[in-house]
Structure 1
Amino acid sequence: MKIAASDFDGTLYRKNQKVTTDDLTAIAQWRTAGNLFGIATGRGLILILQRIREYNIPFDFLICTNGATVFDDKLNILASHVLPAQIQQDLLSQKMVEHCQYVIFFTTKKAYLYPIYNEICIDSANLNIPKITLQEAFRLSGLIQITLFYPDAEETAAAQAALQNHYSGSLYISSNQCFVDITACGVDKATGLQELLKEQHWNHMPLLTIGDDKNDLPMIERFQGYTIESAADLIKKTAVKVYPSVGDLLLDHLTS
């Protein structure tokens, strides 16, 4: 029995093809053979479930909010890591946040959107979550992750670098596409997967990981993972092998 953990945005879910029938067929074959499949994503639970239900993606576990929350196949919480209290007030006072278009606040199973500007962009992101005011954002508790959305990759990289410098040693700052994600210190997709293996007593089972962006690097490095052809060069250099798709990875390891 083997375990496969796939990133979602940019890996299983690609802009041009979305989630393909071939990938879904490969996931079904993988699980029918007695293996386990799950998603390791920067999305919070409510946002990944929207896509899972849209494409009818089967799963045996979910690593959400970049490893800050871990769920089994019944959505029982196996692990969670809460951000420091009132971090939203300090974060939203930082200058680089002024340039982001919206902020998403994630609790273990819910999400709230605080729009800063550009409502059109927010609508186009198809985020089916409630909007809140700044005062409501300050009152939120039990936050697992805070996500900032920027208009382009250059501003995203600049914001990540500035936040890493400001919160060095106290928070973990990662990025994917135009999103900057803030989680508790020491939390990433690799630690989320390690907690999954421990809680489910799966440490003896081979684990395959695949992703395409910077927030996937911890799990690719820790578990000698894989990537896809559309990934950035940095990810390709780190990965053991590059595949055309998640389905190709699963089928390649189905009998090996």
Structure 2
Amino acid sequence: MPQLIATDLDGTILFDRKVAPADLDAMRRWRAAGNLLVVDTGKSVFATRDTLEPVGLAFDYAVAFTGAVLADGDYRVLASRFLPDGLAHEIVMSLRGIDGLTVFATTLETDYVVEDTYHEVSPILQVFVPMEPEEMTEHRFIGVPMRVRDDDVRRRIVERLTERWGEAIEVVRNQEFLDVIPAGATKGAGLADLLARLTGSDGSRSGESIETWSFGDSWNDISMHTVADHPVALPWSPKEVVAACESTAGSMAELVESVLGPRRGRTTATTTAGEKRNR
């Protein structure tokens, strides 16, 4: 039976825009064994490529922008969903004047920053192009990511957006970010759509079932964990994420070894979750 790992990036395998050599080696080993590697991320395709190409991480598919975009391993877009025309601009204008907030707007090609009160760059989203809100009418947007550090401000923003546009959008949290995306677009929905492609009449693996593992640390990964056969959280994930999973693993290398077994001639030492998190 084919096997597939769907992994989050930031806070799961990607830390300060770097992937640990052991994790990189494990993912290469996974694919070399004939298995599929899927990155399931809140990042845009543009940001995913900007982050992963420099570290040399190859994959088979990307479920990008929290399920709104599906791309292949060469970053070619296979499917995409957009916010209704004009809605991204309305959302951005509704957020103006809120202190402690950086607002982005994402097309298929580019991440734009349209409002910034922090005046600093987050390691999660580092490359973007400035855009004035009035320029937004010239583009189609997939989503509106925003960086919000304060929990109370974040909660009020979620309430405001869902009350006004709840039928047209999803608002999901990833660490200190909120992502506003088209209704029905989640990491889990994106993974489910990919699995349907792979096992359906148009899929390259038509007629085969695929055993799936999910690996992710944050709230926006819960929908992905719900779809997978074997959901796996990080030991330090929020309690809601751990509760949605059947197990935890301290690293991608640990997860791959638990599925494929250790390399021949290699012994492993037991490491606590806290040691893994801090190393």
Name which of 182, 185, 197 aligns with 2:183. Answer: 185
Q: Is it true that 1:20 corresponds to 2:25 in the alignment?
A: no
Q: Deviations along 1:6-35, whole A, 9 cap, x unmatched?
A: 0001111135x9421111111011111111
Question: Is the Cα contact below 8 Å between 1:147 and 1:179 reproduced in 2?
Answer: yes
Q: In structure 2, what is the Cα distance between the partners aligned to 1:99 and 1:242?
A: 37
Q: Which secondary structure does the structure 1 equivalent of 2:98 belong to?
A: helix
Please report the TM-score for the alignment, with normalisation by the length of structure 1: 0.90
Question: Is the Cα contact below 8 Å between 1:171 and 1:182 reproduced in 2?
Answer: yes
Ranges of 4+ aligned residues in structure 1 off by more than 6 Å: 123-126
Name which of 234, 239, 250 aligns with 1:244. Answer: 250
Q: Which secondary structure does the structure 2 equivalent of 1:11 belong to?
A: coil
Question: Is the Cα contact below 8 Å between 1:96 and 1:159 reproduced in 2?
Answer: no
Pair 1:251–1:54, CA change in 2 (3 A): same
* Residue 212 (structure 1) aligns with: 217
Question: Is the Cα contact below 8 Å between 2:114 and 2:133 reproduced in 1?
Answer: yes
Pair 1:161–1:22, CA change in 2 (3 A): farther
Q: Which runs of 5+ in 2 are unaligned?
A: 263-279
Q: Is it true that 1:48 corresponds to 2:52 in the alignment?
A: no
Q: Deviations along 1:57-109, whole A, 9 cap, x unmatched?
A: 11111111000000011222221111111012321232587235322111123
Q: In structure 2, what is the Cα distance between the partners aligned to 1:96 and 1:241?
A: 42
Q: In structure 1, what is the Cα distance between the partners aligned to 2:54 and 2:35?
A: 23
Taking only aligned residues, the RMSD between alpha carbons, in angstroms, comes to: 2.3
Question: Is the Cα contact below 8 Å between 1:153 and 1:177 reproduced in 2?
Answer: no
Paired-residue identity, %: 21
* 2:248 partner letter: V
Bigger shift: residues 26-35 or 221-230: 221-230
Which protein has the larger Cα radius of gyration, Structure 1 or Structure 2? 2
* 2:34 partner letter: G
Q: In structure 2, what is the Cα distance between the partners aligned to 1:97 and 1:59?
A: 40
Q: In structure 1, what is the Cα distance between the partners aligned to 2:96 and 2:233?
A: 31
Pair 1:144–1:245, CA change in 2 (3 A): same
Q: Which has the higher contact order (CA 8 A, sep 6+)?
A: 1
Bigger shift: residues 170-179 or 140-149: 140-149
Q: In structure 2, what is the Cα distance between the partners aligned to 1:152 and 1:232?
A: 17
* Residue 235 (structure 1) aligns with: 241
* Residue 110 (structure 2) aligns with: 110
* Residue 11 (structure 1) aligns with: 12
Name which of 205, 221, 224 aligns with 2:226. Answer: 221
Bigger shift: residues 45-54 or 193-202: 193-202
Q: In structure 2, what is the Cα distance between the partners aligned to 1:208 and 1:191?
A: 15
Pair 1:81–1:3, CA change in 2 (3 A): same
Q: Is it true that 1:68 corresponds to 2:73 in the alignment?
A: no
Pair 1:230–1:95, CA change in 2 (3 A): same
Please report the TM-score for the alignment, with normalisation by the length of structure 2: 0.83
Give the Å deviation of 1:217.
Answer: 0.8
Q: In structure 2, what is the Cα distance between the partners aligned to 1:116 and 1:38?
A: 32
Count of aligned pairs: 253
Bigger shift: residues 143-152 or 164-173: 164-173
